[in-house]
Amino acid sequence: MEQTKKGRAVLNDRALNKSTSFNREEREQLGLRGLLPYAITTQKTQIQRVMENIRRKDSNLERYVFLNALQDRNERLFYSAVIHHIKELMPIIYTPTVGQACKEFSHIFRQTKGLFITPEDKGEISRLLDNWPQTDIRVIVITDGQRILGLGDLGANGMGIPIGKLTLYTACAGIHPHQCLPVMFDVGTNNQEYLEDSLYLGYPHQRLAGQAYFDLMEEFILAVQQKFPNALIQFEDFQTPNAYALLKKYRNRSLCFNDDIQGTAAVVLAGIYASCRITGHALADLRIMFLGAGSASTGIADLMASALQLEGLTEKEAYSRLRFVDSKGLITSERVDKMDPNLTYTHHEPKLSLMEVIHLVKPHILIGATGAAGTFTREVIETMCAINEQPVIFALSNPTDRAECTAEEAYRWSKGKAVFASGSPFEPVTYNGKTFRSGQGNNAYIFPGIGLGAVACCATKITDELFLTAAKTLALLVSDQSIEDGTLYPPLHDIRNVSLQIAVEVAQQAYDLGLAGKELPKDLKQFIADMMYNPSY
């Protein structure tokens, strides 16, 4: 397309702007002479300048604001910096910093990056989508802000989650930023602090609920199918009842998935596959216990049950290997109603505490998804060590200060025996002369690759088989050296390659299952690699 913008208009267009990297000829042609300093710098030099500025900031929230401003003025430089420094910058653009950024979203707001839908838009959502400047949307991330990370109801402040997730889609899997749409389903908040905050930017009412809520979502889904027929919809951070209701309603009607339920499940299952290489246990022999019974835990259990059945267990045997404990103790059939997603995993043991269940079940793996810090106490870790030579501990809650235990606590209390992974990053821990590098069970290892694979083959829907494939692929990408270090996931610096490999396997599985909407390319991997956005100048 012929370039028509000139001068300041070029510098103000985040997709076009290269700042000091415009060469002499470009400066002449685009009317930029005199508008930039004399020096012509490479993107590599610009990234160096970006990182120097980031590192002199006093807090990660300030770094988050700085990076958002960079994204607004020079998109390609932003993504190049993130890709080249993914390990350092991912905790800033996403967990744990995004949690704080969401809490303060209305106070640090600078420039809009997404679409906001409120109850006042009922009947007009299709017209709202027309206001979005891009038309070739391939990935939509939507939240209603009711259960943001472990922070609860943040209302419209939860918009930081779709923005952050889509940033990772681009950085980790090469989905073009102009094909991404963050959506805030702003149906109010029950957080009185925000309703009384004069700076709060959301719909200032109690949450819409019941049929009116689902009718508004139905209108949105239908409008997306009409306006953006190739778009994948990712549900993010919905409260458990709504999360399951929406997934059940739409999973066979549209191209969609819930990252908290299915993405978390796949990344944890991958970690469990990898842990078997450390502990020597066969997958079919594992007993797994969950602390926390929300959508994340139930999603992991659902996928784990499928994986166990693929190993030869019956459905009943698979379910018998999984136990749930919440703040009230063991979840039994007497405690849940027939609509509860956890009903499948209830047993008839008496009401027991966490420690009593550990002694009774003797789990090999303990998975925490509570949103409550410190729930994996020293007694819990030591008891897991008493019944396992190498207990596997997943402390999944984030942000970091909500983790069930820290990496240092897990290694110190277990005397270096634990195989540990977490939802948020922790620094390496040295114990008795050995350095342990815990893996981060970050959904960014899964959802970008799933999305890229689905978009590449024009998938019609996303099934559990695709998440099983993604989990197995991710586990196979964990190197022998990582296993030696006790790490259950590949290094973050390799995440674009990880996403590509997952996308290839997911797309191939979609073709095999008859879920692809376009003809299979001769070289699927090359086809997908060529699709990936490259932000280099």
Report the alpha-carbon distance of residue 509 to residue 501 in Å, rounded.
Answer: 12
Q: Is 347 helix (H, G, I), strand (E, B) or coil?
A: strand
From 64, 94, 273, 319, the catalytic residue: 94
Distance CA 263, CA 77 (A): 29
Asked whether 441 and 425 are in contact (CB, 8 A), the reply is no
The vertex-327 CA angle with 325 and 328, nearest 5°, equals 80
CA dist., res. 328 & res. 295, Å (int)? 17
Q: Is 18 a catalytic residue?
A: no
Query: Is 319 an annotated catalytic residue?
Result: no
Marked catalytic residue, from 18, 103, 165, 472: 165
Instruction: Give the integer Cα–Cα distance in Å for 290 and 363.
Output: 10
At 330, is the secondary structure helix, strand, or coil? Answer: strand
CA distances to 230, 356, 386, 391, 471 from 292, in Å: 36, 16, 22, 18, 22
CB contact burial 155-179 (16+ within 10 A = b; e otherwise): bbbbbbbbbbbbbbbbbbbbbbbbb
Q: Which amino acid is at 462?
A: I
Q: Find residue 368's DSSP bridge partners.
A: 291, 395
What are residue 234's DSSP bridge partners? Answer: 141, 257
Cα–Cα distance, 479 to 475 (Å, whole number): 9
Distance separating alpha carbons of residues 473 and 73, to the nearest angstrom: 37
**How many Å apart are CA 506 and CA 301, to the nearest integer?**
21
Tell me the residue ranges of DSSP E strands in 46-173: 115-117, 139-143
Q: And the tokens for 488?
A: 């259950």
Residues designated catalytic: 94, 165
